[in-house]
Structure 1
């Protein structure tokens, strides 16, 4: 199962810049029943796969002044939390402002859900100009483009760099191992944006 993880960056002069990225890939585990998923937590810890560089990328984003990482996913909230916790990534994220399948079955709509939640929490408007999705699939690119965000693709092996670019990703990385490059690209995506809010998808 894949989840998108995102962030919002608050510029301490009153504005915000944002970025969102998909960094988790785990073995499929039924998520309709939270108890069933809970029973498979150990399996997920053993067999789940984290994209190369994801923990360091999330840590860098979390430590960057003003960034507020969250998640946007086609999973239910409880399932997303269990998966992220099993993979050791939950501590980097504010899951309360994410967008989930229970909010809307149309994944691009979850971008706006997360933008609104982050906006209420941080009292800033999050817009297309200040929102960046980072993902490794054509669905992630579609989610960002249709949902109201710029997109950074990650050619993790599931989708080629060429396909991600052709689908509309503004930038494409081979992986997430160069955290400084990732932060530079997030900032490049939002430099032309107004000095107000962005969130993930």
Structure 2
């Protein structure tokens, strides 16, 4: 049995970068195009949720039945991706990569790195490419937001994907790096190590309530963080 030392599963939004509301705007446009009525999602909480869960929840509030939602989702995904790509192209300079993120990812080059994100796969890589981070993450390695409404269920998919890509049978340690309490809960439910950063909507104090294994305000203490993740 071939075991790698560690796997590193990264969230994107609020962890690696801030997309400045582009995803929210793309959802509003896609919903209007497919459903035929205007939507304002300014009060919708996206933090830690999968894109499937976000859209499902919005459509449920409209009183749409589950079967019809399942029929609508493929069209919504397709329209959303097209709109999202256009908006990112027009607003590429607005994307904010958080300080020290590139330094961290540079330190993890050669390691088993992948994504565990609520983003749809296509939008995840559009976003990473626009931010200049796509070179750190091999394509289609991880788990994405169309798989389930429940982030916890993305873990096994992500792990199987990393095993296949890196040609190993397992990992001595699995790290989940994210900014939401849902990342912490996902790690705990799957016996992974939770590494939380308060770079998203939730404060350090709020994240601390969920008892992550490691908790930082951001990535600025980069030397300590690299040492921890390499341990």
- TM-score tier, shorter chain, comes to 0.7 to 0.9
Output aligned runs, 1:40-79, within 5 Å.
40-62=87-109, 66-79=110-123
SS at match of 1:81: helix
Aligned to 2:70: none
Q: Give the distance between the partners of 1:35 and 1:14, measured in 2 at CA.
A: 39
Q: Which structure has the bigger radius of gyration? A: 2
Q: Give the distance between the partners of 2:230 and 2:107, measured in 1 at CA.
A: 14
Gaps (5+ residues) in structure 2? 28-76
Q: Give the distance between the partners of 1:38 and 1:90, measured in 2 at CA.
A: 15
SS at match of 2:124: helix
Provide the aligned C-alpha RMSD in A: 2.2
Q: Give the distance between the partners of 1:167 and 1:19, measured in 2 at CA.
A: 20
Contact 1:68 1:93 in 2 (8 A): no
Q: Give the distance between the partners of 1:18 and 1:76, measured in 2 at CA.
A: 21
Which structure shows the higher helix fraction? 2
Rate the CA distance shift 1:186–1:93 in 2: closer, same or farther, 3 A.
same
TM-score of the aligned structures, taking structure 1 as reference length: 0.75
Q: Give the distance between the partners of 1:24 and 1:77, measured in 2 at CA.
A: 16
Aligned to 1:4: none
Aligned to 1:25: 18
Alignment length (residue pairs): 172
Quote how far apart the aligned CAs of 1:67 are: 0.2
Quote how far apart the aligned CAs of 1:14 are: 5.2
Output aligned runs, 1:100-115, within 5 Å.
100-115=144-159
Quote how far apart the aligned CAs of 1:171 are: 1.1
Q: Describe the superposition over 1:3-38 as per-residue Cα deviations: whole angstroms up to 9, x where unpaired.
A: xxxxxxxxxx95321233332221232263221111
Output aligned runs, 1:12-161, within 5 Å.
15-21=4-10, 22-28=15-21, 29=23, 30=26, 32=77, 33-62=80-109, 66-126=110-170, 130-156=173-199, 158-161=201-204
Gaps (5+ residues) in structure 1? 1-12, 189-201
Contact 2:3 2:170 in 1 (8 A): no
Contact 1:27 1:44 in 2 (8 A): no
Quote how far apart the aligned CAs of 1:81 are: 0.8
SS at match of 2:218: coil
